[in-house]
Amino acid sequence: MKIYDILLTIGNMFKLRPAKERNKITDGFLPTEEDLKGAKKYSRVMIFGVDGAGDYFSKCSVPNFDRIFGHGSRTFSALSQFPTISAQNWGSILHGLTFQSHKLTNEIAATMNFVRKDQPSIFRVCAESHPGSTYASIVNWYPINKGIVENKIEGLYKINAGELYKGPSDDEAVDRVACEQIISFIQDKDPRILYTHLDGPDEGGHSHGYGTPEYVASVQHADELVGKIYDAYVERGWGEDTLFILVTDHGHVCKKRKDGTTFGGHGGWTDSEKYVTIAVAGGLGDIIDGEMGQAGTLDVASIALYALGEKQPDVYESRVPKNVFSTLK
Ligand SMILES: [Zn+2]
């Protein structure tokens, strides 16, 4: 009997489960060496991380999302990590692990560098197998570059839009700086993975609440920036051999104050907090048009690595959801 089985037996006795089983929420693929040989192998991956937007890309007019991902593989009911908080999820998205494994919180990410060698981010996995390539993490929210993405990865550029923006507090203005940085970055560099974090919808959610007109406007503003970045990729001639992924980390609630005004927040497990968007599009003819299988935020790591033809580390708990790639059966 293996140690895992013994733990499972003990866990069953007390109605508990070892962490790995408890957190398995997807029935997706763990690509084999053979699967990787059959992958189309994209030249690069562009990940749009949209903070706080939950499932709202399915609930308002988002013409750019529609034109990019309208014939891609999509889900608006992927699951956030619990608690439904930013670092818990960006940690999962970039490290292929559940929150229970990476244990990143907003406070930890804001104050401590990520130093665990046994839990490599997708950047480190790729940088180690492809020396000489370029990578970029261009974010609104600095804790991602401080405490989630490792330092000293060869070829990785970290850009914090919040530090470059000098105006009065305005999350959407910082997002616009991130967008400008990406567009200028790709004029002379070819990042194998570019990850960006836009924060407008999270601010819209906190200030006004899920589903309010202001929240809708913030999701639509993020959609506009996603469109500009996508167009810049297409202008570079990268529209076909880039895999585009859009992912949100959590949604928001909508609560009413006594004076009738509304506000939001997240961290709980209501539908509007826990359901998130994952959308995948690419031009190599292998992306299935339609609803993606069951997925969680961590699975973005597996999707990105498979698209690049990279083997995911054994420590990863993420999977490639069903109905994303026609090459995986
Ligand atoms: Zn967040």
pLDDT given for residue 329 in this prediction: 85
What is the tens place of the pLDDT at every residue in 79-128?
Answer: 999 999 999 999 999 999 999 999 999 999 999 999 999 999 999 999 99
109: domain CATH number is 3.40.720.10
- Asked whether residue 324 is domain-assigned, the answer is no
Q: HEC profile for the chain?
A: CCHHHHHHHHHHHCCCCCHHHHCCCCCCECCCHHHHHHCCCCCEEEEEEECCCCCHHHCCCCHHHHHHHCCCEEEEEEECCCCCCHHHHHHHHHHCCCHHHHCCCHHHHHHCCCCCCCCCCHHHHHHHHCCCCEEEEEECCCHHHHHHCCCCCCCEEEEEHHHHCCCCCCHHHHHHHHHHHHHHHHHHCCEEEEEEEECHHHHHHHHHCCCCHHHHHHHHHHHHHHHHHHHHHHHCCCCCCEEEEEEECCCCCCEECCCCCEECCCCCCCHHHHEEEEEEECCCCCECCEECCCCECCHHHHHHHHHCCCCCCCCCCCCECCCCECCCC
Between the CA of 248 and the centroid of ligand 1 the distance, in Å, is 8
User: How far is the centre of ligand 1, averaged over its atoms, from the C-alpha of 272 (Å)?
Assistant: 13
Q: Assess if residue 53 is contained within a domain.
A: yes
Q: How far is the CA of 19 from the centre of ligand 1 (A)?
A: 23
**What's the rounded mean pLDDT across residues 132-140?**
98
Asked, for residue 316, whether it belongs to a domain, the answer is: no
Residue 314 lies in a domain: no
Residue 180 belongs to some domain of the structure: yes
Establish if 73 belongs to a structural domain: yes
Q: What predicted TM-score, i.e. pTM, was given to this entire model?
A: 0.92
- Cα 206 to ligand 1 centroid, rounded to whole Å: 10
For residue 270, the CA-to-ligand 1 centroid distance in Å is 15
Residue 252 C-alpha to ligand 1 middle, in angstroms?
9
pLDDT of residue 27: 80
In terms of residue numbers, what domain contains 273? 27-307
Distance from Cα 38 to the centre of ligand 1, integer Å: 35
Distance 277 CA to ligand 1 centre (A): 13
Asked, for residue 13, whether it belongs to a domain, the answer is: no
Does any domain span residue 218? Answer: yes
Number of folded domains that form the chain? 1
Ligand 1 center from residue 6 Cα (angstroms): 37
Q: Which pLDDT band, with edges at 50, 70 and 90, does 15 fall under? A: very low
